[in-house]
Structure 1
Amino acid sequence: MRAFVVDSFTDSAFTGNPAGVVLLDAPAEAVWMQSVAAELRHSETAFVVTGGPDDEPKPLRWFTPETEVPLCGHATLATAHVLGGDQRFDTRSGVLTCTAQGDGWIEMDFPVDHAEPVEPPTALAAGLPGITIEEAAEGETKVLALAASAAEVRAVRPDFAMLADVPSRGVIVTAPGDRPGIDFVSRVFAPQVGIPEDPVTGSAHCTLASWWAAKLGRDERDATFVGEQASQRGGIVQMALRGNRVGLRGRAVTILSGDLLV
């Protein structure tokens, strides 16, 4: 079967977030998909069934090196890029629609993940040395920490052992943007699912878009944002918030294609 490595949320090779993409003729066993994801060692590998009717959504699942996850943005973008842009996928988070926007851009229609204010878990502060946590919030899959500045976000060197004790699938640390055209910066850490730092995280921006709309006083029914994920590889995510849905826009670059033999 065909397999690919794609850098997502970037137009330059070796930046953005790399994802594996495996094209299946029929559904595969979860144990086998988990083994492939562990072998490829990307933060997520997508498995998409392409053998069904053209007019039906294609079944799509995502695996980290350690576990299956319910939603993944960059691997969905990578899959749509491999398959040609306009796609519908049947996933654990419902039907996700991807639309080619021209010039290599693809918009993914994702559900919003509304984060509610919480007291920062003890392990959160301990796991983010140097971060002044001004607020904390919790969404369906991730805990969010507001830092005092973008400089703190860029400089933080997490204690991953402590962050693994945060009761969530991942931790977002964010702050207002520090350069023109960027509304906010973020980084995402998920040692709970085998990902110390995720380079560019589409699903995190489902939380960030609605959270920053409220923070910045924007209309949650119709607002646009540009986020920079300030990891070492780095990436840009454009967002269009539309009530309980958010359009995540990005580009992608295919790095490798070949045959998966087992």
Structure 2
Amino acid sequence: MTTDVTGKSDVDDRAARPTGTEILRYSAFTPDPAGGNPAGVVLDASGLDATAMRAVAAEVGYSETAFVTGGDEGARRFRVRYFSPLAEVAFCGHATVALAVALAERLGPGGIVLDTPAGEIPVSTATDGAGAVRATLTSVPARSRPALATELDAALGALGWAPDDLDPALPPHVAFGGNDHLVLASASRARLARLDYDFDALAEVMGRHGWTTVDLVWRESPERFHARNPFPVGGVVEDPATGAAAAAFGGYLRALGLVTRPGTVAIRQGEDMGRPSDLLIDVDPLDPRTRVTGQAVPIP
């Protein structure tokens, strides 16, 4: 199995990949193919079963690949499934943005609707003056609840973090925006930069609790956060940009009462791993859904 530099897997699934499957590659949440989070996109996966889709995702080696399994092109509505190199996931934000941009480049900008295992995801696409395509997805209703002491202790142990490494003003939560994510706020930018964790131990903790990533954040200002997302359950050490975690983070901010009126929060991710990514989330205290915006570009 091939993986990108963030990967940790040595299983070869290429023999299971059906011949003739066209795989597109995009980098999401960036205008630069060398930045952002790479995603695979298969626009016609109607003939692939789950085993074949996982094999394709394993060969691509990115954190996720989006597969269009059917739909109505005229109505701009499509059924989508997402696979990491190791397993299917219910929802993936960066692969959704990559897929939406790929569809907009073929069908023209406008709205599309994706039917995902997590629920219905509307996405709007538009081009800027230079012709670059930007996508805004609307998540399923997001929510957040305080992390249990047992959850927190296990996660901190696997990460190698101490309780003093956390920002007491931003308590640990488990947030949902299509998937569950443990949200831990670092007390400093320097601590966030020092990410060196026990891959297998954290994968076990996350698998036990059903977390897709651990969303490590640092608050630069009320309108700007930095983030890192360990993703060992997907077979990669770290995600450079995580739209699903950003959607869940909107629910986290709302649950803590940090959003008192509709506004936009910027999230900078991937900087410490050399793939800078920029995500924008629109959060409304009266709307449980989070809107996540970003650009995507083809990878040559």
Structure 2 length as normaliser, TM-score?
0.77
Find the counterpart in structure 1 of residue 33 from structure 2: 13
Whole-angstrom distance in 2 between the partners of 1:52 and 1:249: 24
Unaligned runs of 5+ in 2: 1-20
Q: Paired residue for 2:250?
A: 209
Worse overlay, 128-137 or 190-199: 128-137
Distance 1:192 1:117 in 2: 22
Shift of the alpha carbon at 1:215?
Answer: 4.4
Indicate the residue corresponding to 1:239 in structure 2: 281
Show CA shifts across 1:155-212 (max 9, x none).
222222221132223211112027xx96111111121232221110000011112223
The aligned counterpart of 2:160 is: 129
Distance 1:33 1:245 in 2: 29
Q: Is the 8 A contact 2:138 2:289 kept in 1?
A: yes
Contact 2:39 2:98 in 1 (8 A): yes
Report the alpha carbon displacement of residue 117 of structure 1 after superposing the two structures with TM: 0.8
Provide closer, same or farther for how the CA distance between residues 217 and 121 of structure 1 changes in structure 2, counting only shifts above 3 A: closer
- Write the distance in 1 (CA, Å) between the matches of 2:153 and 2:66: 34
Q: Is the 8 A contact 1:239 1:247 kept in 2?
A: yes
Partner of 1:223: 263
5+ residue gaps in structure 1? Answer: 257-262
Counterparts of 1:59 and 1:27, CA distance in 2 = 13
Whole-Å separation in 1 of the counterparts to 2:156 and 2:220 = 22
Displacement of 1:50 in angstroms is 5.7
Give the C-alpha shift of residue 27 in structure 1.
5.0
Q: Which range moved further: 203-212 or 7-16? A: 203-212
CA distance in structure 1 between the aligned counterparts of 2:225 and 2:23, rounded to whole angstroms: 34
Distance in 2 between the 1:214 and 1:25 partners? 38
CA contact (8 A) 1:144 1:171 kept: yes
CA 1:222–1:25 in structure 2 vs 1: closer, same or farther (change >3 Å)?
Answer: same
Confirm whether residue 116 of structure 1 aligns to residue 153 of structure 2: no
- Cα distance in 1 for partners of 2:117, 2:255 equals 27
Q: Report the counterpart of residue 100 of structure 1 in structure 2.
A: 125
> Contact between 1:15 and 1:235, CA under 8 Å: does it hold in 2?
yes
- 2:22, 2:42 within 8 Å by CA — same for their partners in 1? yes
In structure 2, the residue corresponding to 1:139 is in which secondary structure?
strand
Cα-to-partner distance string for 1:213-242 (whole Å, 9 max, x where unaligned): 4547322x6222111114411211011124
Residue aligning to 1:4? 24
8 Å Cα contact 2:71-2:77 kept in structure 1: no
Gap change, CA 1:145 and 1:48, over 3 Å in 2: same
Among 36, 48, 55, the residue aligned to 2:56: 36
Amino acid at match of 1:122: D
Instruction: Report SS of the residue matched to 1:240.
Output: strand
Say whether 1:72 aligns with 2:72.
no
